[in-house]
Amino acid sequence: MNTTPDNETLVFVYGTLKRGEPNYYMMEKCDGGQRARFVGEGETVRTFPLVIGSRFNVPLLIDLPGDGQKISGEIYAVNKEKLSVLDEFEGVPSYYVRRQEEILMRPKERIATDSEEQPCTYFCDMYFIQNHNPKLLRLPMIGRYSSFDSHGLRYIPGDSVEDVWDEIHSPEVHLPTSTVPPPPWTAYNPPNQR
């Protein structure tokens, strides 16, 4: 386990828990007398498939190193109470698994005690879906998630993690649900039939 000097665990978030995203409130909420402490921005050293799936438009990180793209996100230091709350929120161990992955921190974001000359990497805990439906790999893979990007696939809160889990493991993968109309210049105009 990678810990900071304050016995905090470093956690890398890539989806709705980031600043400005729909579930960021989970990071701000005090658990064990402490909020999650923002450390900096970074990206995974290895590539992974990150897709937006289900009718809830959930970012799903699939544990297939070498596929997909490097994943951009944020590093937080959390105490054990906050880590337990995040595990429950993500449905660990039933739906997601939390494990360490090497993260490259952006130079201006490095922890103050680190040398500025060398690239800084940290081992941070990350959440990966368990036993993914292979059909998820047919969805577009992204490297940076935002619920508010031009893709129009805004996150839709479900009643529970079980709702999302049941859907992404059904025999049919539900395509993400666009919640924003596409800009008019993206409309498909089929070629003239001859």
* Residue 127, SS3 per DSSP: strand
C-alpha–C-alpha distance, residues 15 and 22, integer Å = 9
User: Distance (Å, rounded) from C-alpha 84 to C-alpha 34?
Assistant: 13
- Residue among 8, 21, 43, 90 flagged as catalytic: 90
What is the Cα–Cα distance from 39 to 44, expressed in whole angstroms? 15
**Is 90 among the residues known to form the active site?**
yes
Contact between 73 and 43 (Cβ < 8 Å): yes
Measured distance CA(145)–CA(14) in Å, rounded: 7
Which residues are the active-site residues?
Answer: 90
